[in-house]
Chains A and B, each alone.
Chain A
Amino acid sequence: MSTLQLNVNGQNYTVNVNNPDMPLLWVLRDLIGLTGTKYGCGIEVCGACTVLIDGQPEHSCVFDASSAVGKKVITIEGLSPDSSHPAQKAWVDNQVPQCGYCQSGMLMSVAGAMQAGHHGSEILSEVKNLCVCGTYQRIRQAVQHL
C-alpha cells in the first residue's frame, strides 16, 4: 500500500493504492470518483482515457498514477466549471456526440491541441482518438472556429 498526493482539477487528493503503478485512469475513476474519463482499450489505441497532465494530453490508461504526483491533472470535469470551454461549446453547437463515450477523451485531446497553439483545422491532424459512432464529420465542423 502506498499513498499518493495528486492534484486533479485544482484539488488535492490523497489516495492509497495497493500498487503504485495503478494507472491514473483507475485512480480517477475508482478511488477519486471522477468517472468522466473513460476506459476504452487499455493499450493506448483509442484515446477515450485522455487527460491533460501539465497541459499535455496523456493516455491515463497507461500513465502510472505515481508519475502524476507533483503535476497538474485536468480531466473532462475540470476542463471548465460550466461547460464553457470553447471546444465544449462548439461540441454542443455542432451536436457532435452520439453515444458520447469517447467524447471526454476527444475533447481533452482537442483542448490539448489548442493549448499547444493549434487552431481550427490544424487541430484535426493532432486528434487521433477513436469514435466508433463516427462523429468525425461534426468534429471537423466543430473545430473550424477554435
Chain B
Amino acid sequence: MATTILEPRSEKSTQHKIGRRGFLAAAGGFTLTFLMPEVTRLSEAEGATPGQVNAWLTIGSDESITLTVGSSEMGQGSFSGLAQILAEDLMVDYARIHAVQGGPTVANPAPVGTAINTVGSSVTRTNFWKMRDAGAIARETLVQAAMNQIGDQTRSNYAVNNGVITHTPDGVTRTYGQVAPDAAALTPPSTANLVPDDQFKLIGKTVPRLDIPSKVNGGAKYGLDVRLAGMVYAVIKHCPSFGGTLASTPSTPSGMIAVVPTKVIAGTNRGAEATGNVNAVAVVGSSTWDTWQAAKSLRVTWNLPASASTLNNAQFLADAQALLTSATPYVAGGANPAGTLYTVESIGSANDAIAGSAKSVDVTYSLPYVAHACMEVLNCTVNYVAGLSCEIWAPTQSAKAVLQLAMTLTGLPSGSITVHTMYLGGGLGRKAEVDFVSEAIQVAMAVNKPVKLMWPREEDFTRDQYRPMALIHARAGLDNSGNVTGWSYRNVSPSILGQRGAPLGTKGDSQGIEGAQSLPYNFGSRLTEWVSHPSPIPVGFWRSVGASVNTFGVESMIDEMAAAAGADPYTFRRALLTDPRWIAVLDAAATLGNWNTPPPSGRARGIAIGTAFNSIVAEVVEISQVTTTSLKVNRVSCAIDCYLSVNPGSIQAQLQGGIVHGMNAALYGKQNFVNGAAQAKNFNQSRMIRLQEMPQIDITIIPSPAAASRSTNIGGVGELGVPTFAPALANAYFKLTGTRVRSLPFFPAATMGGL
C-alpha cells in the first residue's frame, strides 16, 4: 500500500533548481517538474502560468517514486486519483507511488502561487492530461537512459512493466531506480506516447484510496491536530452581528496570556465585514478548554452599525421581492450597484410568447442562507518569528491564498513563509476562504509564540460565508399540445463574486446564475436574468455553488410545466431535451430508479437533471411517510456523465456524499438572522441525517469513451450529487402529496437531538 504523508515537512530542505519541464539531479535520482493548471472560482480560468511549479515527480535510485501534489485532500480522493493517473502512463504499480502533500513554496526561492486551489470539482478533471503526459515523459526518459546503458537505440526492442525496462532481445533489465541517475542528465522529450485507452490497467478501475488507512486509526493529521513545541491556544470570539466592531479591548482574564483584537484584512472583507473592521477578539491561553471557557465568559462591548436592525430574514425577503419586479437594468459603463438586473440570455421574446400562450405557469421559489458546517471547525496554527519567518499549518483549499495573505500581513518575502496544507475535515468551499488564517497570523504576530487558533462550533456556524439566499421567479408558456413556447427565469441573490470585488461584467455573477443558463431544453424563446441582492450577509462558495440553487428552481419549474401539460415528468423532460448526452443520463437514472414501474404503495418518485463543472447528473428520488415534520427518503438513483471515469469507487463515494449534502440542505438547511446575528449555532439547531435515515443510493456511471479526446472537457464529480437532489425531492413530494414545495428547506423548524 502506498502511503500519504501529511505531516509537516521542511520546505527549506528542497534545494532543487526547478525549471519548466526539466529533469534535475535529485539525491541520486531525478525530478520531473510539470505544471498543473489552476482553477480559481473568481475567474474560472483554467490555465497554467509559465514558471509556476506545483507538482513534482521524483524517482530515486532506491526505486522510490514520490509524487508531490499541491492540491488539498478533504475526502474527495483526488489526491489518490492523481497518483492513479500518473501510475498508468509511468507504467508502475499504483501502490508504489508515495504521494506527498506539497505546499506553495517547495521551490527555493519560492515562486508565489504554486499550490493549486482545490475548488470547482477540478483536481482530477483539470489535471488528467497533465498527469498522463508527465508519467509518459518520465517513462520515456528513463527508457532512453536504459537504451544508452544497454547500447541499443531501437525503442521497439524494449518493454516496460511495473518500473522494469526489459531489453527484449536478450532479457537484460534495468529498473527505474537503476537508470534514474543517468536519466537526470537527459533532456526529456516534449511529448511521449500515452498508454492506449484499451490497454488501461488503472484508469477506470476502482483502486483503494491512499489516505484511508490513516483515517481508521487516528493517525491522519488534520489542521486541528497540529501540535508544536511551546504552542499556545487561541479561541476566537466574533461580534455576534455581522458589521459590528470592537468598542474597546477587554483586559486579559486571570490565567490567560492575552486578548488579541483581530481585524478584517483586505481580500477577506465580505459584505458587512469591511476591511479594517475589528470584528473579533482572540483569547490566548495554555489549553483549548481553559481558553475557550475564558472566551465564553469574556465580556466584550461591540459597536453595531445602524444597519444591523435591517439585517433580518423578513427584510432580506422584502428586498428580494421588490427586486423581482423593479430592478434597474444593467447600463454599460454605469455604476451598476447592488440591485442591478443583468440579462444573461435572451432568445426571441419570452414575455410575448408566454403572454400569448394557451397555458402558463408563473411561480416563485425561495432558498435560504445555508452554512457549510464542515465536521472540522475552522482552525489554523502559526509559528511566527518576528522579521524572520512565518510557518503556517492550515486545513485549506487555497494554500496559495494563505501564502499571499501571510506575505501581506507579515511583510516577509515568500521564501520566508512556509505553508503546510493539512488534511481537511471537510472543506465544502468554506476552507477556500482565509479569514481564519488571517486571524491566526494576527494573533501569532501579537503573542510571539506558536499559536493554534480554533473557532468553536458556535463561531463556525454563526460567522460562515453562507450559500446565498435566492428568490427565483420562473414563468413559462405552453400551447394546447404541451409544447413550451417561452421560458423566463429571474434569480435575485447576493453576489459571491461581487462580495470579492470581482467585476461582474455585462451578465452579472456567473456563479449566481450557473445551472440556469445554456440549458439544453427546447423552450422556444427564453429570457434568463440575474439580479444582485444588496444583502450584506457574507456569502461564499458552497458545494456546487449556483448550481445547487438554480437546479432547484429550474427542475422544480420543469416539473410544474409537465403537470400543467398533463405529462409524465420524465417523458416531458425527455421530449424537451435537445442534447443526446443529457437524454442518455436522464434515461439511465430513470432506468435505475424503475421509473416506468409503479413504486410500492405509499411511495412516490421525482426526477431531476442538471449540470455543473462539465458533468451531467440526473437523480430519481423515492420517498414515503410524509408528515408535517418529516419524511422518509427511501431510495436515490443517480446517473452521471463525467465524460471519463478515473476511479469509479471514488465517483460513487462522492455522489453518495453529495446526495447526503443535498438532502441535509433540502430537508433542514437554513441560517436565519436577527439584528445581523446568525441564529443556528450548533448541530442541534441545524439538523442533518443520521445513519438510520440513509436512503439506498444506486449509481450509474455513463461509460467512458473508447478513446478519450483532449478536446472534450472532463467533468467534475465532487460537487455533482448535490444540485439535482432538492428538485427531485420536491417533485416526488408533489407526486405523493399534491403539494408543491417552493420554499426550502422542507422542515425549517427541525432540530437535532443528542446522541
Partners in one complex: yes
Q: Interface of A with B (CB < 8 Å)?
A: 18-19, 22-23, 26, 29-31, 33-48, 59, 75-77, 79-80, 83, 88, 91-92, 95-104, 107, 124-125, 127-140
**Contact at A95–B657, with CB atoms within 8 Å?**
no
**Contact at A133–B218, with CB atoms within 8 Å?**
no
A-B contact pairs, 6 of them (CB 8 A): A18-B287, A29-B225, A43-B682, A91-B216, A129-B691, A134-B663
**Contact at A83–B212, with CB atoms within 8 Å?**
no
Question: Given that A99-B375, A100-B425, A137-B656 are known contacts, is A35 also in contact with B289, CB under 8 Å in the complex?
Answer: no
* Complex partner residue of B694 from A19, A77, A140, CB under 8 angstroms: A140
**Contact at B218–A42, with CB atoms within 8 Å?**
no
- Residues of chain B within 8 A of A140, CB atoms compared: 691, 694
B718 (CB) vs chain A CBs: closest residue? A98
Question: Given that A44-B754, A95-B208 are known contacts, is A30 also in contact with B287, CB under 8 Å in the complex?
Answer: yes
- Residues of chain B within 8 A of A43, CB atoms compared: 457, 682-684, 754
* Complex partner residue of A124 from B212, B375, B656, B692, CB under 8 angstroms: B692
Question: Given that A48-B375, A103-B216 are known contacts, is A137 also in contact with B694, CB under 8 Å in the complex?
Answer: yes
Majority-rule SS of A interface residues:
loop
A27 (CB) vs chain B CBs: closest residue? B289
A82 (CB) vs chain B CBs: closest residue? B217
B523 part of interface (Cβ distance < 8 Å): no
**Contact at A124–B219, with CB atoms within 8 Å?**
no
- Residues of chain A within 8 A of B696, CB atoms compared: 137
- Residues of chain A within 8 A of B451, CB atoms compared: none
**Contact at B218–A75, with CB atoms within 8 Å?**
yes
**Contact at A129–B755, with CB atoms within 8 Å?**
yes
**Contact at A98–B691, with CB atoms within 8 Å?**
no
B140 to chain A, nearest CB (A): 33
Q: How many A-B residue pairs have CB under 8 A?
A: 195
- Residues of chain A within 8 A of B663, CB atoms compared: 134
**Contact at A98–B653, with CB atoms within 8 Å?**
yes
B406 to chain A, nearest CB (A): 24
B75 part of interface (Cβ distance < 8 Å): yes
Known: A19-B290, A135-B657. 20 other contacts (CB 8 A): A18-B287, A37-B218, A38-B224, A38-B425, A45-B754, A47-B755, A48-B375, A76-B216, A88-B216, A97-B75, A99-B74, A100-B75, A100-B423, A107-B216, A124-B692, A130-B688, A132-B374, A132-B428, A133-B657, A139-B691
* Complex partner residue of A92 from B216, B376, B684, CB under 8 angstroms: B216
B413 part of interface (Cβ distance < 8 Å): no
Kindly supply a per-residue 1/0 record for chain B positions 647-679, scoring 1 wherever the CB is within 8 Å of any chain A CB and 0 otherwise.
001000110111111011000000000000000
**Contact at A41–B290, with CB atoms within 8 Å?**
no
State the CA gap A117–B215 with chains docked (Å). Answer: 25
State the CA gap A131–B424 with chains docked (Å). Answer: 14
A59 to chain B, nearest CB (A): 6
- Residues of chain A within 8 A of B8, CB atoms compared: none
**Contact at B754–A92, with CB atoms within 8 Å?**
no
Majority-rule SS of B interface residues:
loop
B227 part of interface (Cβ distance < 8 Å): yes
Instruction: List B residues 213-246 near A (Cβ within 8 Å).
Output: 213-222, 224-225, 227, 233
Instruction: List B residues 391-447 near A (Cβ within 8 Å).
Output: 423-428
State the CA gap A131–B375 with chains docked (Å). Answer: 8
- Residues of chain A within 8 A of B373, CB atoms compared: 132
A60 to chain B, nearest CB (A): 11
State the CA gap A138–B288 with chains docked (Å). Answer: 33
B152 to chain A, nearest CB (A): 44
A99 to chain B, nearest CB (A): 3
State the CA gap A37–B430 with chains docked (Å). Answer: 23
**Contact at B212–A104, with CB atoms within 8 Å?**
no
- Residues of chain B within 8 A of A96, CB atoms compared: 212, 216
The 10 closest A-B pairs by CB, nearest first: A36-B218, A134-B660, A101-B425, A99-B75, A100-B215, A98-B75, A136-B694, A35-B225, A76-B218, A26-B289
- Residues of chain B within 8 A of A139, CB atoms compared: 691
B717 to chain A, nearest CB (A): 12
State the CA gap A129–B694 with chains docked (Å). Answer: 13
**Contact at A95–B213, with CB atoms within 8 Å?**
no
**Contact at A124–B691, with CB atoms within 8 Å?**
yes
B697 part of interface (Cβ distance < 8 Å): yes
State the CA gap A88–B219 with chains docked (Å). Answer: 13
**Contact at A29–B653, with CB atoms within 8 Å?**
no
- Residues of chain B within 8 A of A102, CB atoms compared: 375, 425
**Contact at A42–B225, with CB atoms within 8 Å?**
no
- Residues of chain B within 8 A of A34, CB atoms compared: 218
Question: Given that A39-B224, A129-B691 are known contacts, is A103 also in contact with B215, CB under 8 Å in the complex?
Answer: yes
- Residues of chain B within 8 A of A136, CB atoms compared: 660, 689-691, 694
B290 (CB) vs chain A CBs: closest residue? A18
- Residues of chain A within 8 A of B221, CB atoms compared: 35
B528 part of interface (Cβ distance < 8 Å): no
- Residues of chain B within 8 A of A100, CB atoms compared: 75, 211-212, 214-215, 220, 423, 425
State the CA gap A134–B719 with chains docked (Å). Answer: 13
Instruction: List B residues 361-375 near A (Cβ within 8 Å).
Output: 373-375
State the CA gap A56–B427 with chains docked (Å). Answer: 32
- Residues of chain B within 8 A of A135, CB atoms compared: 653, 656-657
Kindly supply a per-residue 1/0 record for chain B positions 683-725, scoring 1 wherever the CB is within 8 Å of any chain A CB and 0 otherwise.
1100011111010110000000000000000000000000000
State the CA gap A127–B690 with chains docked (Å). Answer: 9
